[in-house]
Every structure is written in structure tokens, then in C-alpha cells.
């Protein structure tokens, strides 16, 4: 275990404020529970790690895009690109892809650059950029396969040598969205929207030219406006969230959504059996690719974990939830309600099938597990929210580990690392728990109190709602009859009570005197 901990990479956090970005040393913290600063603030307008965390791309105000080695933070290459609107690194940081605002109709405004040489290796014209069409060139996680969406076809490239041009084409009339499987890049999913009475469809093809004669799987559906395509690790299953702008049952103003599941071997093509009606809020595969979790249904939403055959494995209950986050080790789950929900979070141990704890992170915009699977970070960021910007880090059981407030925060991201570089999750959590015990012992020396602190203090029960007219009526009642709106007697009430008692005593004395006189 000690050897595994020594060889494990250190966690790091990228934090971007108006003054620029900085790199923090991740938990556990040694300096009074405060993060060490690996890199002080550097001015920029955007910053993002590559998928494997090996490189960092930073866009600066002077149209300069710099690529850094994330371990040494030394600049590898700086590109001067005028009118740049977006940039993206390939998964392993070999290529930089940029999108420029086009000044002429013939200008090729999407450029793929080789970072080591600084030379452009591929260029094309793209009229506009949307979430579905950027990055224009998609790569598998190992950068062995590359493809792009074109009119009525998908174009494939030799990712090691773009000078060869397009290696082969897959013609799909009307194709509007494409998702290449990541690990490995053996398959590609294509979405064709509804057209002239024909239903929309999602089709799965093999990436290899010789295997593309027929789709391996296909699912058609009516009332479909957009889709979300989610591949698992291993590229054997595809989850398709089908969204319609109109709900014909009139149960939802935001339309309706359905969750479909397709496999590359054709064993399953259909809906995921959900036990509650309503929208699909979130869906995520486990890192192993053998299970997936879904948050679904009208509020209070339900959450269920399924296996690869769509059989339910674990019910996570119901509540004000719309977000699911599965930690990279596959052991822990965080079920949360962010956005317009109060921020409730429930932490689960999937392997032991039990809930570990609950807490709340109000107004969170982003949330993600650390690469070692032991910490969960939420961030409240601008421009979504302009006040109460902060970073919170929780332990795997939901107990708060760290919190820092900012005047304005734009971004907070973990540095990506492969989960395989870290030891077993059970041993990691044990080591963290032992550190917490040692810290509590050192802090508790000389203390006379032996009462243990609660890990998750229960939330204070809110008082019952009282309408304004009821409050006013209670106040009038207190003035007239000596009552109190808070349950305690006011000064006037006490004074009146004493007067009444004295009057009673006086009447009793007068009655006694009258009886003696007779």
C-alpha cells in the first residue's frame, strides 16, 4: 500500500478568477487545511486540461494560445491566432484544434495544429460552431481514430498522419450529429433527424472501412428534436437520451425525453425500463462500462443503477435530484440536485449498497469526483451566479473537507489522471480516515470535552409557514389578551397579569373582611 501511495500522482486543481488561473496542490492539505499554490495567477481568458491531463491549453487576451506541459508547467508552444473563438486539445495533447471567425466565404477557419512542430496538419471551412459540431474533428482516447461530420457523410482520417487526407467516407444521408466511441475508437454513432414523415434514427457503425457496409444497431423514434449520445468504456454500449420539444401528454412544459439503449452486438435495441414517468435528468456510465446510473421522473425524481442488460441493480431512492456523479473507481456515487434545486447531495457506496451520508451544496454550478475517487468538489461560478462564488470539497461520505469563498470565480477543475495510477479505493479511504483520526487527536489535546463532533450535522427543521395575516392576528391577540407571538409573555402581558392577580387578592381580602364584620 505504501508503495502504491508513493507512486500515485498528486491531485491538482485548476482555479480561474478574473485575474487569471492558478494551480493548487490537491488534498490532503498540509498547511492548516489550506491548499498549497503550485502556480500563482497567470492572466488568461480560458484554460483547460487535455483529456489525459498531460497538457494544458491557455487562451490569453492578446489572441495568443499557449500549450503547457502540465507536470512541469513549462510552455511547449505558443500560437498567435487572430479572431480565435474556440480551441480544444486532442485527448493526449498531440494536436490543438482552433476555430476562427471567418472573414471570407473561402477561408478555411478550422485548423488542426501539431503542437510539437507548430505546423497546421489539416484545415477546413466551418460556417458556424455549435455544441454538436465542436470540436469539429473527434478523436478516440488513444488518438488512434479520428473523424468529422460532413454533409451527408462521416469522414475518417489516419490520426497519425493527416497529410494523407481523408482515408475513407461513411455516407449517411441527413446525418446531423456524430459521436465517436472513446476507449477504444472502434465504433461511431450517427443521428439522423426526422424528415418528410420519416422517423428519426440513431445508428451504430464500425469505424473500420471494411466493416461499414451495414449498421450494427439501429433505433428509430418519432417526436425527436435532439439526442444525447453516451458511449461506455469498452465501446460496447450506447445510451441515447431522446428529447422532444413538445410533450403531447401536456405533463411537462419542457417537452418529453426517453432513454434508449443500444449495444454493438445487437443484443439490445430499445427503451430502458424505468419505473416512473417523467424526464431524464441525467445518466452516467461507471468507469468499468458495466453499469450505468439514471436520474429520472417528475419531482421527486428517482434514481436507479442498471447493468449492461438493463436489469436494475440498486435503487437509490427519490428526492429533489437531477445530477448523478460516479466516482472513477466505481465504488461511490453522488446523487445531487443542482441548478434550480436546493443542492441536496446523497453519497452512496455502490459495492456495499448502502448510503454513506447526506449534505447540501447550495447553488453549485459544476461538480466532479477527484481522479483517486476519494474527494468530491462542487463550485459556484460566474457568469451563472454572480454572488456567493465558492469551492467546496467533500469526503467520499459527504462530510465537508474544505471551503473557500471568492469575490468572483469562473472555473474550478480537477487535473485529469487515470484512476489506474492510484491504489485500491478501500485502502485510499482507510488512509484518509486514519489521517483524519490523527488530526482530530492532535487538535483535541488538552480539551476537556469528550463529546464527538457529528460528521453530518442534521439540518435544522424549518418552522411552519405562517401567512402575514396570521402573524398580524397573533400580534393583535397578544395586545388584547396578554398572549405572545413567540410563545413567551411580553412586558405588557406580565404587567396586566400582575394587575389581575392584585385585583383578585384585593377582592378576596374585601370578602374576608366583610365576613368577619358580620
Strand order in the sheet with 187-192: 177-180, 187-192, 200-206, 217-221
pLDDT at 465: 54
Taking alpha carbons only, the member of 126, 130, 162 closest to residue 143 is 162
* C-alpha–C-alpha distance, residues 412 and 209, integer Å: 41
Which pLDDT belongs to residue 381?
93
- C-alpha 164/C-alpha 151 separation (Å) is 21
Question: Contact 367/375 with Cβ under 8 angstroms?
Answer: no
pLDDT tens figures, 290-341: 999 999 999 899 999 999 888 999 999 999 999 999 999 888 999 999 988 9
- Identify the segments of the chain with pLDDT beneath 50: 1-5, 437-462, 471, 475-487
Torsion angle defined by CA atoms of residues 183, 186, 192 and 198, in that order, rounded to the nearest 10 degrees:
-130
What is the structure's pLDDT at 173? 92
Domains of the chain, CATH where assigned: 50-135 (2.40.10.480), 146-271 (no CATH), 276-418 (2.130.10.10)
Q: What pLDDT score does 247 carry?
A: 64
Amino acid 302: pLDDT: 94
* Nine-digit cell string for 201: 434514427
SS3 499: helix
Q: How many angstroms separate the CA atoms of 97 and 114, rounded? A: 9
Q: What is the pLDDT of residues 93-149, one digit of tens each?
A: 999 999 988 777 777 889 999 999 999 999 988 888 888 788 999 999 999 999 999
Q: Can you give the pLDDT at residue 508?
A: 83
Q: Concatenate the DSSP letters of all residues of 339-403 into one string.
A: TTS--EEEEEETTTTEEEEEEE-TT--EEEE-TTSSEEEEEE-TTT-SSSEEEEEEETTS-EEEE
Residue 515: phi and psi, rounded to 5, are -70, -40
Indicate the helix (H) or strand (E) that contains 517.
helix 491-517
Question: Is the C-alpha dihedral spanning 133, 135, 141, 143 positive or negative?
Answer: positive
What secondary structure does DSSP assign to 142-168, as a single string? TSSEEEEEETTEEEEEETT-GGG-EEE
Tell me the three cell numbers of residue 310. 438493463
Amino acid at each position: 500500500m505504501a508503495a502504491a501511495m508513493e507512486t500515485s500522482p498528486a491531485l491538482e486543481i485548476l482555479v480561474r478568477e478574473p485575474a487569471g488561473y492558478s494551480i493548487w496542490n490537491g488534498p490532503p492539505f498540509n498547511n492548516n487545511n489550506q491548499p498549497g499554490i503550485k502556480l500563482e495567477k497567470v492572466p488568461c481568458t480560458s484554460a483547460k486540461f487535455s483529456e489525459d491531463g498531460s497538457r494544458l491549453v491557455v487562451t490569453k487576451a492578446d489572441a495568443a494560445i499557449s500549450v503547457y506541459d502540465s507536470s512541469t508547467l513549462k510552455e511547449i508552444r505558443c500560437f498567435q491566432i487572430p479572431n480565435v473563438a474556440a480551441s480544444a486539445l486532442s485527448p493526449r495533447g498531440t494536436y490543438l484544434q482552433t476555430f476562427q471567425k471567418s472573414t471570407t466565404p473561402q477561408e478555411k477557419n478550422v485548423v488542426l495544429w501539431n503542437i510539437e512542430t507548430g505546423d497546421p496538419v489539416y484545415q477546413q471551412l466551418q460556417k458556424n460552431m455549435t455544441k454538436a459540431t465542436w470540436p469539429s474533428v473527434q478523436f478516440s482516447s488513444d488518438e488512434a481514430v479520428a473523424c468529422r461530420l460532413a454533409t451527408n457523410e462521416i469522414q475518417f482520417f489516419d490520426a497519425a498522419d493527416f497529410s494523407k487526407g481523408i482515408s475513407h467516407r461513411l455516407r449517411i444521408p441527413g446525418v446531423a450529429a456524430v459521436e465517436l466511441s472513446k476507449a477504444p475508437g472502434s465504433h461511431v454513432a450517427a443521428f439522423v433527424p426526422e424528415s418528410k414523415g420519416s422517423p428519426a434514427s440513431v445508428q451504430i457503425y464500425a469505424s473500420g472501412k471494411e466493416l461499414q457496409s451495414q449498421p450494427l444497431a439501429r433505433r428509430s423514434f418519432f417526436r425527436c428534436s435532439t439526442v444525447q449520445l453516451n458511449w461506455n468504456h469498452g465501446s460496447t454500449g450506447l445510451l441515447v437520451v431522446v428529447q422532444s420539444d413538445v410533450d403531447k401528454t401536456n405533463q411537462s412544459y419542457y417537452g418529453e425525453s426517453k432513454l434508449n439503449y443500444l449495444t454493438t452486438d445487437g443484443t439490445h435495441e430499445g427503451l430502458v425500463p424505468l419505473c416512473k414517468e417523467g424526464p431524464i435528468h441525467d445518466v452516467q456510465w461507471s468507469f468499468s462500462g458495466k453499469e450505468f446510473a439514471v436520474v429520472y421522473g417528475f419531482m421527486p425524481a428517482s434514481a436507479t443503477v442498471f447493468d449492461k442488460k438493463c436489469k436494475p441493480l440498486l435503487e437509490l431512492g427519490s428526492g429533489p435530484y437531477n445530477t448523478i456523479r460516479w466516482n472513477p473507481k466505481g465504488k461511490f456515487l453522488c446523487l445531487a440536485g443542482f441548478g434550480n434545486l436546493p443542492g441536496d447531495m446523497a453519497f452512496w457506496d455502490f459495492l456495499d449498497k448502502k448510503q454513506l451520508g447526506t449534505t447540501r451544496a447550495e447553488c453549485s454550478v459544476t461538480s466532479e469526483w477527484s481522479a483517486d475517487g476519494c474527494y468530491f468538489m462542487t463550485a459556484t461560478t460566474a457568469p451563472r451566479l454572480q454572488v456567493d462564488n465558492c469551492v467546496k470539497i467533500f469526503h467520499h461520505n459527504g462530510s465537508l473537507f474544505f471551503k473557500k469563498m471568492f469575490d468572483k470565480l469562473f472555473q474550478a477543475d480537477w487535473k485529469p489522471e487515470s484512476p489506474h495510477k492510484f491504489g485500491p479505493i478501500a485502502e485510499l479511504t482507510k488512509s484518509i480516515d486514519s489521517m483524519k483520526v490523527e488530526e482530530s487527536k492532535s487538535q483535541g489535546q488538552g480539551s476537556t470535552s469528550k463529546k464527538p463532533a457529528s460528521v453530518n450535522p442534521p439540518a435544522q427543521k424549518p418552522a411552519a409557514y405562517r401567512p402575514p395575516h396570521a402573524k398580524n392576528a397573533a400580534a393583535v391577540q397578544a395586545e388584547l389578551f396578554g398572549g405572545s407571538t413567540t410563545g413567551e409573555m411580553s412586558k405588557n402581558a406580565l404587567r396586566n397579569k400582575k394587575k389581575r392577580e392584585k385585583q383578585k387578592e384585593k377582592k378576596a381580602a374585601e370578602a374576608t373582611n366583610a365576613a368577619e364584620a358580620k
